[in-house]
């Protein structure tokens, strides 16, 4: 379906951390009426995420770290349990997620399976996220993980029973969208 939108003007509101743009655009509605609209869009780049799972042990590897936006929005201590993820930083998605997996979790994986792509917050954020899964074994653990110090990462690595992870969705201990999507994928594919 062809787009009925055209950009009229783009203004940079902030480029402090990533780029916040104010975009004026024209949009032709399904009735043929043209409207001019103004919206803000946050461009932080695209990313990749992965769920490591071990069928034999029936476990998954997740991380826990402080996430300021959740703290601002009611998460009492700001800590969030989530699947390993990172921004592409000019890498292709597969190379990115292999690098992020080793940095964050300490597992060096060589084979990953891309399962889908998704816009995570399309009303305000431009990012598309590439979703992966990979089976892991204990001998793939090459260091403790925890992130990169000069990126100010302080990440706790968690090995969690698959059934417990599903229960953590129900109890609200896992509230991260990408993690819920990957855990549900695992269940739907009967990998758990």
pLDDT digits (tens, 9 = 90+) for 11-33: 999 999 899 999 999 999 888 89
CA pair distance 103, 87, nearest whole angstrom: 13
Domain 47-188 has CATH 3.90.79.10: yes
The residues of the chain that CATH labels 3.90.79.10 are: 47-188
pTM metric for this prediction = 0.92
CA pair distance 173, 167, nearest whole angstrom: 9
Are the C-beta atoms of 47 and 131 separated by less than 8 Å? no
The DSSP-derived string for 16-72 is SSSEEEEEEEEEE-TTS-EEEEEEEEEE---EEEEEEEETTTTEEEEEEEE-HHHHH
Are the C-beta atoms of 51 and 191 separated by less than 8 Å? no
pLDDT in tens, the chain (192 residues): 456 899 999 999 999 989 999 999 999 988 889 999 999 999 999 999 999 999 999 999 999 999 999 999 999 999 999 999 999 988 999 999 999 999 999 999 999 999 999 999 999 999 999 999 999 999 999 998 888 777 777 899 999 999 999 999 999 999 999 999 999 999 999 876
Which residue matches tokens 């780029």?
Answer: 19
CA pair distance 159, 178, nearest whole angstrom: 17
């Amino acid at each position: 379906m062809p787009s009925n939108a055209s950009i009229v003007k783009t203004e940079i509101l902030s480029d402090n951390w990533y780029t916040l743009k104010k975009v004026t655009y024209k949009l032709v509605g399904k009735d043929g009426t043209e409207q001019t609209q103004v919206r803000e869009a946050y461009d932080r780049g695209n990313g990749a995420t992965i769920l490591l799972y071990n069928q034999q042990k029936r476990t998954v590897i997740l991380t826990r770290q402080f996430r300021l936006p959740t703290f601002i929005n009611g998460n009492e201590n700001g800590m969030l349990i989530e699947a390993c993820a990172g921004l592409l930083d000019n890498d292709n998605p597969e190379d990115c997620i292999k690098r992020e997996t080793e940095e964050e979790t300490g597992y060096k994986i060589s084979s990953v399976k891309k399962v889908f792509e998704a816009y995570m917050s399309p009303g305000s954020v431009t990012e598309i996220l590439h979703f992966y899964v990979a089976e892991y074994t204990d001998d793939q653990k090459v260091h403790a993980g925890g992130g990169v110090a000069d990126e100010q990462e302080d990440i706790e690595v968690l090995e969690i029973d698959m059934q417990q992870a599903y229960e953590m969705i129900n109890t609200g201990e896992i509230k991260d969208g990408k993690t819920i999507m990957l855990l549900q994928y695992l269940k739907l594919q009967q990998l758990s």
